[in-house]
């Protein structure tokens, strides 16, 4: 599933082509996605201009004067920009034809993604439940080490699953949770409620660092959003632990352990993480 850096790269890739553009046509070939597409609301966007292209968690928010169209890529979805005469492929479910001659095309073989409509002045439940953003300044998001510390008090839940809870903080998917905990020297199985404020300060810095680096590295894939698959994939970064169970730790040389935690692959170093 695309994680926050992949979604942010998608947003950055499509924004220059969507910003201030008028929708000339909307074609919905398959409305049965994770949630049914509101075809009436989507057709009402024809003739309206895009005012903003933002991100909230793993959702891409395209703002209009009447509300916000919200894309979610699900397990296998992708957004790419194509010429308007490009042939439609299998699983190309939705097209937005733009005044600049390009088409924003949504492709999703498994149909776990979504296109939602949020009228002006309303807030969908999918967004209302989201925690603060790790890539926004703390003054804007409210995400601080003290916030994590207070939210974790009394919790026996493992720290890895705690930081992966989108109601606590958004965007810390499995890959980046593994990497952040390794950088912070925290074993993923430690109870969230037993971690000190000082260690949360270190962990939050690491989460921000890992995600920011992944987004920066994603910049080299922006060309993928025009006349290509539109799938940046996971970035070619040097992963310290994820996917390396049984291999040597880059830091101490010990053997990395792999377990299942919250049904997700979890890799850590017994020497470097406590």
- For residue 17, the surrounding DSSP H or E stretch is helix 4-18
What is the secondary structure of 29-67 as a DSSP string? Answer: S--BSSSB--HHHHHTTTT-B--EEEEETTEEEEEETTE
Q: Does 213 participate in catalysis according to the annotation?
A: no
Which residue among the candidates 55, 58, 187, 231 is catalytic per the annotation? 58
Residue 155 annotated as part of some ligand binding site: yes
Q: Does 137 participate in catalysis according to the annotation?
A: no
Q: Does 109 participate in catalysis according to the annotation?
A: no
Q: How far is 126 from 215, CA to CA, in rounded Å?
A: 23
Residue 110 annotated as part of some ligand binding site: yes
Residue 34 annotated as part of some ligand binding site: no
HSE value, Cβ hemisphere, 13 Å, CA-based, for 72: 22
Q: How far is 37 from 94, CA to CA, in rounded Å?
A: 10
Q: Does 264 participate in catalysis according to the annotation?
A: yes
Q: How far is 35 from 115, CA to CA, in rounded Å?
A: 8
- For residue 229, the surrounding DSSP H or E stretch is none
As annotated, the binding site includes 91, 110, 155
Q: Give the residue numbers annotated as catalytic, written as ranges.
A: 2-3, 58, 264
As annotated, the binding site for DNA includes 91, 110, 155
């Amino acid at each position: 599933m695309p994680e926050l850096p992949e979604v942010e790269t998608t947003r950055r890739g499509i924004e220059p082509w969507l910003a201030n553009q008028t929708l000339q046509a909307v074609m919905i070939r398959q409305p049965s996605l994770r949630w049914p597409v509101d075809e009436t609301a989507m057709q009402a966007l024809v003739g309206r201009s895009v005012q903003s292209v933002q991100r909230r968690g793993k959702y891409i928010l395209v703002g209009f004067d009447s509300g916000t169209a919200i894309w979610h890529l699900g397990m296998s979805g992708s957004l790419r920009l194509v010429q308007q005469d490009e042939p439609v492929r299998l699983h190309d479910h939705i097209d937005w034809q733009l005044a600049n001659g390009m088409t924003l095309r949504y492709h999703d073989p498994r149909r776990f993604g979504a296109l939602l409509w949020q009228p002006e002045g309303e807030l969908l439940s999918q967004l209302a439940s989201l925690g603060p953003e790790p890539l926004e300044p703390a003054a804007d998001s409210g995400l601080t080490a003290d916030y994590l510390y207070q939210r974790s008090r009394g919790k026996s839940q493992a720290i890895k699953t705690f930081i992966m809870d989108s109601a606590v903080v958004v965007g810390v998917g499995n890959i980046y949770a593994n990497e952040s905990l390794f950088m912070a020297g925290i074993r993923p199985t430690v109870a969230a409620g037993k971690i000190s404020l000082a260690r949360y300060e270190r962990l939050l810095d690491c989460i921000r660092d890992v995600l920011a680096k992944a987004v920066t590295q994603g910049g080299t894939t922006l060309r993928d959003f025009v006349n290509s698959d539109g799938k940046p994939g996971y970035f070619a970064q040097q992963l310290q632990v994820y996917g390396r169970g049984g291999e040597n730790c880059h830091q101490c040389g010990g053997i990395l352990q792999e377990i299942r935690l919250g049904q997700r692959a979890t890799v850590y170093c017994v020497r470097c993480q406590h």
